[in-house]
Each structure stands twice: as structure tokens, then as C-alpha cells.
Chains A and B, each alone.
Chain A
Amino acid sequence: MGKLFRFHNDVDTDQIIASQYLLFPTIDEMKTYTFESLDPDFSKKAKPGDFVVACENFGCGSSREQAPAVLKALGIKAVIAKSFARIFYRNAINIGLPVIVCKDLYDHVQDQDEMELDLEAGTIVSGGQTFTCTKLPAKMQSILDQGGLIASLNKED
């Protein structure tokens, strides 16, 4: 069980982590500034095991892999949205951050609601309701299962 942080449509990668912080040498130094322009206290409020929930086109904009990386570093367990921008989606899978398409969740929850995710079954429970998620393509599921692209490549060797 974790708390969910609810965001709107078209959350872009500049909003997730702004350009000026990309110059910090490590993701740990950057993560304090996650969602700074939308909620400056996000990194203090989010606890490991919490979730990010959004509407359409989450992660649009730049190719910066730091966007999913700061979310993962803060312990965000998964991002659940109606749809994702392509590069963010690939980047998240490659670093082992689950990104889940769920068409119904967003419209039925409020910011700070509690929710539970069963990744294997592809279901989410919140407020007594169960929501079904869209399955990942097999190729991506396999990368995610192994903990990301690096683990996946090392295993192939």
C-alpha cells in the first residue's frame, strides 16, 4: 500500500526534472528537485513505495533519462497514467521503473489517496475499487523483469 500523487495531462520532462539540475553529477543530487515547478515539496512528501498517477502523455518533451531516474531514486514504485510519451516510457523500462497504462484509475482517485499495485496480475486497488492495467509488450516486460536494460544485457552475456 502506498500513497498516490496525482498529476494532470502532458506533464513534460522539464516539469519532472528541470534542465538546470541535469548538470548535477548524480541522480541523488538531482532528486530533491523532482516536480519542482508543480510541487516544490514533492521530494519531501513522497516516500518509498508511493506512486505517481497522471492523465494523458506523461513524460513528454526531452529524452532525459534523469526524469524516470529521479522518480526511481525517490522510491516511487510505479507511474500509472492513461498514456505515456514514447521516450520516457522506454527510458523508464530500461532503468527498471514500472510504467503502467491504466485508462480508468486517474478519473477515480484523488491526490494523496492510498492504492495498491499487483504488478504481476496487472491490477490496482484503490478506495475499494479494482482497476485493470494494460499489459506491457513481452520484450519490455522481459527487460523490466530483469531489473532494467543493464541487468538484461549482462544476463545475455
Chain B
Amino acid sequence: MGYTIIEKILKHNTGVCDIKAGDIVTTNVDRVMIHDIFIPFVADKFEEMGFTKLWDPDKVVLIYDHLVPASQVDDTRHFRKGNEFAEKYGMKNVHRSDGICHQLMTEAGYVKPGDVVFGTDSHTTTYGCVGAFSSGIGYTEMASILGTGQLWVKVPQTIKVTINGELPANVTSKDIILRLIGDLRADGATYQALEFTGDTVKNMTVASRMTMANMAIEAGAKCALFTPDEKTAEYCEIELNDFQKSLVGDPDAVYARELTYQAEDLVPVLACPSQVDNIKPVKELVGTKIDQVFIGSCTNGRLEDLQKAAAVLKGKKVAPFVKLIVTPASRKIYRQALADGTLEILSDAGAIITHPGCGLCCGRTGGILSDGERVVATNNRNFLGRMGTSKVEIFLASPVTAAACAVAGEIMEG
């Protein structure tokens, strides 16, 4: 009997030979990520559990991103607690203003193909872009990993998603994952892994894969996995070892479900208020007036996303009364976009360019909206009250669609 990618990773990690979906196994954790919102709670629980040292300080990464720079006086308490904890327990991997956690974990080399990684954030699924098993957990479980280095998990069943063919010019990996979430629904992959394959996926950049892995949680998935390949190796600056090369779903592996898409059939889509699975083609909503556009986040704040937006906005102006806010996902991306002229094009078009961070996506540190306003945004959630009041309408889209909307002042295809 063959194995799925997640079964292969957990088999390798736990040493349990005959592993299968449904088994409960104890993993040896390769890396953990804690961000600024939850560090005070993790620190308290860690001490409440009676631990006196971290199982391996080098494997713990602390990232300040949701609250940077502080917009309310209470925010600074989180930085103080984080700094105290890092110093007390000898942590060196602390990022205080380098960018969004899910960007930094792979960008800064903390996650490699085949790793088992947990983070105190639901979008920890992102690292599946390089073939790692990564998933979100709460602060109590994080505290227990910090002390023990282990976490039990149920080996998930896998949904295999195959995408073949060439995407139309105005369709991106964001449109693929939104379409998939619409088809699976918000709970369609709960407790399960998503495994992506097909030549569209093989031809995709790691950055585009990140967008898809990032949003797997919006269908309830525990993780999302892409087979590591030469692009992964280049991105991670490693040579793939035999184990990492083996991370492909076997032809005789058992899948819970299989879905197949033809890239040429896909169209630009939007997740409409206020559920991520409320997917409609952009064409059906053309003409809907908007107040703001946001391009950024751990879903779509990478260099290629900013470049795609710039290609649409070059030589054009953002519509009057519409605010376009652009947030690069990390300092590295900010500098790359500065060096290659992307930020200049965006700024010329009228964009407000902010510091890297999570601010807008979770309605913190600026850019919030009020009752009756509409925003087209490239992030991953359009829940009620996420970007301002609960009467703000949030439409999720690709950077191409978002940029076209910014120029038109209304919903428009890119």
C-alpha cells in the first residue's frame, strides 16, 4: 500500500513504520513559531506547567508582526513580555520588525521540506508550500511543545487536488484556491490534508504555492502539501535529500477524495461577504462601487504579487475617493520591490505603501473601514468585523483583480 505526502512525513518523523490516516502519533517537532498576539499567554502557560527551560531554544521562533508598530499603548506589553521570555530562556530567533510570520518562516530558512512545524496562528499551513507539515495550534499546546518538543496528532486523511494546463493571464493561484474553497466549502477539508499536484502546480513559483497553502485552513484543512522540487530547493537554498525527494503521493496511496481542475477553465473570482466560501466570478459583480483596496498579507504580499499589481497599475491612477493600500509581506520583499521599481510604479499610481506586517488584514494598525463601505482585499478572511465594523463588506481577490478594481473604483476584472 502506498502513502500520501503527509503519511510519509509523519512516518519519517515518528519512526512508526505502518502509519495510516486515522492513527494518533506523537511527533518530534522541528520548529515552532509564536507571534506577538499570543506570546504573553504562551509565556504564562509555560510557567504554569512548571517548565524551567525550552526543549531547544534554537527551534523556537518569535515574530512580532500583528502589532508592529504599536497602535495602542497596551500593544507594547506584548513586546515586553516577549522580550523578557526570549531573554530568560535564551531564544535567539526573534524578529521584531522584519515582516509577517508566515513569510519569514520560509524566507529566513526556518522551515525545510519534510519538517514538522507548529505555530500559534491558523495560517501556519503556509509552509506546506515547501513540503513541510505545518499547522496552527493554541497557546496551551504551544507551551507544552516548548517544554517537551512533542505534540500528538491524528494522521489526517488527504484530499488530492490536481490542476493541469496553463492559467489564463488574469488568473492566479489565489483564484485557484478561492475556487477550491468554494467547491469544498468552509468545512470541506476539516481534519484533512490537501495535496496539490498536476503540471500547473509544478510550473508555479514557490510564492504562488504559498498563497494556496496559506488558505487551506479556510476549507478547515489541517495542512496543505506541495511536493518539493528544484524550485523548492532553490527557494530554500538547499539540495533536496532522498527523504525530501520522496515526498510525492504514491499512485496507490489512499485518498479521501480527488478533485481535478483544468487551468484554462478557471476565471478570476471573489470571495464575497462574509464567508470565504461564498465564491463568485468577478464578471458577475462588475460595477459594484468600492471604497478601498488592500494588496498585501501573508496570502498575497510577496514580490510577484506586488509586481502583478504594478503591471496593471503602470501609468494609471487609482480612482478618486478610493484608497489603495499596499503592504509588502517582509522587509526583504519591500527592499526588492524598491530596487526593481515596483514600489515607484505603485506609488505613482497613488498607492499608500505601508511597513511590512499584519496590520490591515486583522483590522489593526490602520486602514479600517466603517459601516456600508466596501473593500477588495488580497488577504485570506472576509469575516464580519475583520477590517473595521461588522457592516464593512470585504471581497477577497487576487492582486491582479485588486489592482484593476483600484483603477476602476468598482469591481472589475484584471
Within 8 A of B (CB), among A42-56: 56
> Cβ of A62 and Cβ of B186 under 8 Å apart?
no
Interface flags for A1-31 (1: CB within 8 Å of B; 0: not) read: 0000000001010110011101111000000
Mind listing 17 A-B residue pairs with CB under 8 Å? A19-B364, A22-B37, A23-B72, A23-B78, A24-B74, A25-B77, A60-B220, A62-B122, A65-B138, A90-B138, A91-B137, A91-B138, A91-B141, A94-B141, A139-B152, A149-B140, A149-B141
Residues of A within 8 A of B122 (CB): 61-63, 87
Known: A10-B187, A23-B67, A148-B140. 16 other contacts (CB 8 A): A10-B186, A14-B386, A15-B385, A19-B362, A22-B37, A23-B72, A25-B77, A61-B383, A62-B122, A65-B41, A65-B140, A86-B191, A86-B222, A91-B140, A137-B24, A153-B144
Interface flags for B134-166 (1: CB within 8 Å of A; 0: not) read: 001111110010011000101000000000000
| Complexed CA–CA distance, A37 and B371 (Å) | 13
> Given A37-B390, A57-B190, A60-B186, is A150 in contact with B136 using a C-beta cutoff of 8 Å?
no
| Complexed CA–CA distance, A83 and B390 (Å) | 25
A124 in the interface, Cβ–Cβ < 8 Å? no
B251 in the interface, Cβ–Cβ < 8 Å? no
Within 8 A of B (CB), among A100-145: 137, 139
| Complexed CA–CA distance, A154 and B78 (Å) | 27
Partner of A63, one of B45, B136, B186, B386: B136
Interface flags for B71-88 (1: CB within 8 Å of A; 0: not) read: 010110110000000000
Residues of B within 8 A of A73 (CB): none
Kindly list the 4 A-B residue pairs having the minimum CB-CB distance in the complex, ordered from nearest. Answer: A65-B138, A57-B187, A91-B138, A63-B136
Residues of A within 8 A of B49 (CB): 150, 153-154
Within 8 A of A (CB), among B181-226: 186-187, 190-191, 220, 222
B348 in the interface, Cβ–Cβ < 8 Å? no
For B, the interface residue count at a CB cutoff of 8 angstroms equals: 47
Partner of A62, one of B50, B121, B147, B363: B121
Report which A residues bind B (CB closer than 8 A).
10, 12, 14-15, 18-20, 22-25, 37, 56-57, 60-66, 83-87, 90-91, 94-95, 137, 139, 148-150, 153-154, 157
Partner of A95, one of B50, B77, B140, B390: B140
> Cβ of B363 and Cβ of A19 under 8 Å apart?
yes
Residues of B within 8 A of A139 (CB): 24, 152
> Cβ of B363 and Cβ of A23 under 8 Å apart?
no
B114 in the interface, Cβ–Cβ < 8 Å? no
Please give me the residue from chain B that is nearest to A151 by CB atom.
Answer: B49
> Cβ of A25 and Cβ of B187 under 8 Å apart?
no
Residues of A within 8 A of B72 (CB): 23
Residues of A within 8 A of B78 (CB): 23
B374 in the interface, Cβ–Cβ < 8 Å? no
> In the complex, which of the residues A25, A66, A86 has the most CB atoms of chain B within 10 Å of its own CB atom?
A86
| Complexed CA–CA distance, A148 and B72 (Å) | 33
Chain A's nearest CB lies how many Å from the CB of B52? 12
